[in-house]
């Protein structure tokens, strides 16, 4: 019946649809309480996930064997691409990225169903049914609108078109999977939410089940967005990392929803309040993940990230309609049970702060949503209005700072109500730190190159423009002071916790030194103190964002030997070279025959001393000569990045145009993200009970395998990544016809990860029960 891989692959997609539909039906039937049906549904869910693995392995095989009978393979790969980028091409285009989405959903489903064994007996059938419904949507989408196995109409080509050079970057290998992990991860909380609404078991049971899944999704949304920023910063070459592009905005919207939820869930757990709000937040976050995917793929808003325009938008609109209608109908049905019996007793309470913080987060998300969609909305009554980065920057800065301030305030309050004495005690140290930092910044900031006030041009005429201008000018000083306030709050919280532990130890006749108390404090309250560490990471990120206020952006043209002053640096242009061919090119550059590379060599001096060499470049790929890529070269430090981009080079005179940027404190964003990841991992790490140990060992095993896979991918691409990152490339580039060494490192890492995962999984059997 199936004569070739395209037909066979399409057949597998049909099989996934049939299996998902079967599991969905059996899952719903199991909701009536028949254990055999539940068992059948669980096995069906595993089988659906297994079929998805089969499908992705088939597509990967098609890429590796250059099966250009498949249109998607022919469009996104060619014979010269290294193996690592052939894997990247799996999610490099629209059709494949949908299958990749399904593959990640299969992974989540497998872990979730395994974790559910012995838990949440009443919720399980509906969780499985909801996950299968999501499976069904994506398979239908692929079968009828974006089939990754669709055959090339004109038959197999001799070679493919190749992946966009901008996507041949190591950040792009890990950025989309991370972001998708975050997006797809929101499906599990949504499935639990629907299950709780369907069964009417709306106590805190499902909230406890959901919070770690949402935190996991939040972690990957944060990492995914940060990696996207890193990619834009290194690869796009415009000097910044966030341009408020519609697709960037769509990717950060679910982050706001998830961040609001991980805070408001604590109120329901503690005070049995805000049940409707929590249900709303989970449904909204899932909805926003689908909306983000829709925005990227439907082509309704122009974006540098968008996939090719296609007609899959109507499918997404239909699915979003079903999601919204189902959620709303279930909420209305269960409204009497969702109404809380408790109320906020005092404004001076942590729950009140969390609620205000939630509103601020949702306010920020709404602003971004409306501003992103505004060009489309404006078409309804007027000419198309474009909304650019300056607009977002003007308005989002005060919104962001409000959220930042509330982030510091909430931990200072206790639950229910806080007495004036307790408030005074809690506020003294952070407020003194805030005031002191602001005064020091005012006095010494300008002399250090970071003034507290930075004058801006008026964005609007009239009073609104003047007010925004004044606020904008004061923002750097306010941000630094608020960052100090937040850090002081976290330090104070740790200090009070340590002292409380030490007092408690003394009462027991024991003694704990500060270091031991510190670690035990985190160990015994991972969620709380992991959260505080996340707050520290966000402080780092805000400091990095503020650095933009003190940046310098210049354009200049130089002939060899000329110099240009950029802040405290001096850039000397030494000359240009074209590789391969120029004797000054490294062996790796000489060996790379896939493109022509034009480098402009710069020497970076500070106070007359050489501090580095930079070589911004233009790459002209032989396959796509019409779209040369810009290769950034920069010198990074915690204080500032010197970021250079080449515009054009006159081959006769060697005169070159440059874009030069001095970006202060950008590295603090990446440091902040790392701290945030560390804090989120501490919060996620389970406080093991003997029963829970089993399930989390599966997750740890999966994490082991996932880590090893990422490491394997990294090892596979390390020569290319080193080449892309190096300001003066010295690393080897794999030549088109050179024999490829076996990826021993990758296999070693994968084996180690699998072994570690297996060990952890097996170790649960030794745990006492």
Partner 1 sequence: MTELKLPPNAVRAALPVVTIVGAVVAGVAFGVEISLLIVAAGALAGVIALLWASVQALTGESPLTLDEALTLGAPSAEEEQKRAVLRALKDLEFERGVGKISEDDYAELSTRYRAEAKRLMQLIDAGSEAERERVEKALQARLEKKAAAPVAAAVDGGDEAPGEAEPAPESSPASAKAAPREEEEAS
Q: Which residues of this chain interact with partner 1, rule CB under 8 A?
A: 19, 23, 26, 35-37, 39-41, 43-44, 46-47, 50-51, 53-54, 57-58, 60-61, 64-65, 83, 117-122, 201, 203-205, 269-270, 272, 413-419, 421-422, 425-426, 493, 496-497, 499-501, 503-504, 525, 689-692, 742, 744, 747, 750-751, 754, 758
Tell which phi-psi region holds residue 33, choosing left (phi > 0), alpha (psi between -120 and 50) or beta: left
Of 450, 529, 452, nearest in space to 496 by CA: 529
Q: Identify which of residues 462 and 768 has a Cβ nearer to partner 1 in the complex.
A: 768
Judged by DSSP in three states, 442 sits in helix
What are the CA-CA distances from residue 552 to residues 150, 451, 545, 633 (Å)? Answer: 49, 14, 14, 16
Q: Identify which of residues 563 and 751 has a Cβ nearer to partner 1 in the complex.
A: 751
Of 414, 456, 404, 389, nearest in space to 434 by CA: 404
Q: How far apart (Å, rounded) are the C-alpha atoms in residues 213 and 258?
A: 10
Torsion angle of the four alpha carbons 516, 520, 526, 528, in this order, in degrees rounded to the nearest 10: -80
Q: Give me the least distance between CB of 511 and partner 1, in Å please.
A: 17
CB 549 within 8 A of CB 475: yes
First to last CA, the chain: 52
Q: How far apart (Å, rounded) are the C-alpha atoms in residues 419 and 196?
A: 37
Q: Give me the least distance between CB of 272 and partner 1, in Å please.
A: 7
Cα-to-chain-centroid distance, residue 36? 40
Q: Give me the least distance between CB of 137 and partner 1, in Å please.
A: 21
Q: Identify which of residues 91 and 307 has a Cβ nearer to partner 1 in the complex.
A: 91
Q: Give me the least distance between CB of 42 and partner 1, in Å please.
A: 8
Q: Identify which of residues 47 and 674 has a Cβ nearer to partner 1 in the complex.
A: 47
Q: Identify which of residues 332 and 742 has a Cβ nearer to partner 1 in the complex.
A: 742
Q: Identify which of residues 751 and 763 has a Cβ nearer to partner 1 in the complex.
A: 751
CB 310 within 8 A of CB 145: yes
Q: Kindly report the number of other CB atoms within 10 A of residue 457's CB atom.
A: 8
Q: Give me the least distance between CB of 630 and partner 1, in Å please.
A: 32
Q: Identify which of residues 270 and 639 has a Cβ nearer to partner 1 in the complex.
A: 270
Q: How far apart (Å, rounded) are the C-alpha atoms in residues 537 and 194?
A: 33
**Phi, psi dihedrals of residue 387, rounded to the nearest 5°:** -120, 115
CB 126 within 8 A of CB 199: yes
Q: Give me the least distance between CB of 51 and partner 1, in Å please.
A: 5
Q: Identify which of residues 4 and 419 has a Cβ nearer to partner 1 in the complex.
A: 419
Q: Identify which of residues 415 and 519 has a Cβ nearer to partner 1 in the complex.
A: 415
Q: Give me the least distance between CB of 468 and partner 1, in Å please.
A: 38
Q: Give me the least distance between CB of 490 and partner 1, in Å please.
A: 13
Six-digit token pair at 78?
């060619």
Q: How far apart (Å, rounded) are the C-alpha atoms in residues 120 and 97?
A: 32
Residue length of the chain:
769
Judged by DSSP in three states, 664 sits in strand
């Amino acid at each position: 019946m199936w004569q070739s891989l395209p037909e066979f692959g399409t057949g597998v997609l049909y099989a996934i649809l049939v299996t998902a539909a079967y599991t969905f039906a059996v899952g719903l039937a199991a909701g009536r309480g028949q254990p055999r049906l539940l068992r059948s549904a669980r096995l069906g869910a595993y089988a659906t996930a297994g079929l998805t693995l089969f499908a992705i392995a088939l597509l990967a095989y098609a890429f590796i064997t250059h099966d250009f009978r498949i249109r998607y393979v022919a469009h996104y790969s060619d014979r010269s691409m290294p193996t690592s980028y052939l894997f990247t091409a799996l999610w490099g285009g629209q059709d494949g990225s949908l299958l990749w989405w399904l593959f990640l959903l299969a992974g989540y489903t497998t872990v979730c169903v395994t974790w559910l064994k012995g838990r949440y007996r009443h919720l399980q059938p509906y969780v499985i049914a909801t996950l299968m419904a999501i499976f069904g949507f994506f398979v239908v989408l692929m079968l009828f609108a974006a089939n990754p196995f669709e055959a090339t109409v004109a038959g197999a080509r001799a070679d493919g078109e190749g992946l966009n050079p901008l996507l041949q970057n190591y950040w792009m290998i890990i950025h989309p999977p991370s972001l998708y992990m975050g997006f797809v991860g929101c499906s599990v909380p949504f499935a639990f939410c629907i299950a709780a609404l369907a069964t009417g078991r709306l106590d805190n049971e499902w909230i406890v089940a959901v919070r770690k899944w949402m935190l996991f999704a939040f972690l990957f949304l944060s990492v995914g967005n940060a990696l996207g920023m890193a990619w834009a910063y290194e690869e796009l070459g415009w000097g910044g990392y966030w341009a408020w592009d519609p697709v960037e905005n769509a990717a950060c919207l679910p982050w706001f929803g998830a961040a609001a939820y991980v805070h408001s869930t604590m109120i329901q757990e503690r005070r049995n309040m805000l049940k409707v709000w929590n249900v709303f937040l989970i449904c909204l976050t899932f909805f926003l993940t689908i909306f983000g995917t829709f925005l990227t793929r439907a082509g309704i808003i122009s974006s540098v990230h968008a996939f090719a325009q296609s007609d899959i938008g109507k499918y997404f609109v239909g699915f979003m309609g079903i999601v919204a209608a189902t959620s709303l109908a279930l909420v209305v049905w269960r409204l009497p049970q969702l109404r809380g019996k408790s109320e906020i007793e005092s404004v001076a309470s942590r729950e009140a702060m969390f609620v205000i913080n939630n509103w601020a987060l949702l306010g920020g998300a709404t602003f971004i949503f409306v501003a992103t969609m505004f060009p489309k909305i404006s078409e309804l009554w007027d000419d198309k209005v474009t909304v650019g980065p300056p607009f977002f920057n003007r308005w989002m800065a005060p919104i962001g700072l409000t959220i930042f301030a509330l982030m510091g305030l909430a931990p200072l309050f206790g639950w229910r109500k806080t007495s004036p004495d307790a408030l005074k005690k809690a506020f003294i140290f952070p407020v003194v730190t805030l005031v002191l930092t602001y005064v020091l910044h005012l006095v010494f900031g300008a002399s250090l190159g970071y003034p507290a006030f930075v004058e801006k041009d008026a964005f609007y005429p009239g009073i609104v423009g003047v007010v925004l201008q004044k606020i904008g000018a004061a923002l750097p000083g306010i941000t630094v002071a608020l960052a100090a306030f937040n850090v002081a709050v976290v330090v104070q919280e740790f200090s009070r916790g340590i002292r409380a532990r030490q007092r408690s130890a003394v009462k027991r006749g024991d003694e704990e030194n500060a270091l031991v108390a510190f670690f035990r404090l985190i160990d015994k309250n991972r969620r709380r103190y992991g959260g505080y560490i996340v707050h520290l990471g966000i402080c780092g990120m805000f400091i990095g964002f503020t650095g933009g206020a003190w940046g310098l952006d210049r354009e200049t043209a130089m002939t060899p030997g000329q110099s240009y002053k950029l802040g405290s640096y001096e850039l000397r242009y030494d000359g240009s070279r074209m590789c391969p061919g120029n004797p000054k090119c490294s062996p790796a550059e000489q060996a790379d025959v896939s493109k022509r590379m034009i480098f402009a060599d710069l020497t970076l001096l500070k106070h007359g001393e050489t501090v580095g060499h930079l070589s911004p470049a233009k790459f002209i790929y032989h396959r796509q000569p019409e779209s040369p890529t810009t290769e950034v070269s920069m010198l990074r430090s915690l204080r500032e990045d010197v970021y250079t981009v080449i515009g054009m080079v006159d081959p006769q005179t060697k005169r070159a145009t440059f874009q030069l940027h001095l970006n202060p404190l950008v590295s603090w964003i990446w440091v902040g993200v790392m701290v945030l990841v560390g804090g989120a991992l501490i919060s996620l790490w389970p406080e093991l009970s003997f029963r829970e140990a089993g399930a989390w060992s599966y997750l740890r095993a999966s994490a082991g395998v996932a880590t090893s896979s990422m490491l394997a991918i990294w090892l596979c691409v390390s020569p290319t990544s080193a080449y892309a990152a190096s300001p003066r490339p010295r690393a080897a580039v794999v030549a088109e016809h050179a024999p490829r060494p076996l990826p021993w490192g990758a296999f070693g890492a994968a084996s180690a990860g699998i072994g570690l995962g297996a060990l952890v999984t097996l170790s649960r059997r030794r745990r006492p029960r």
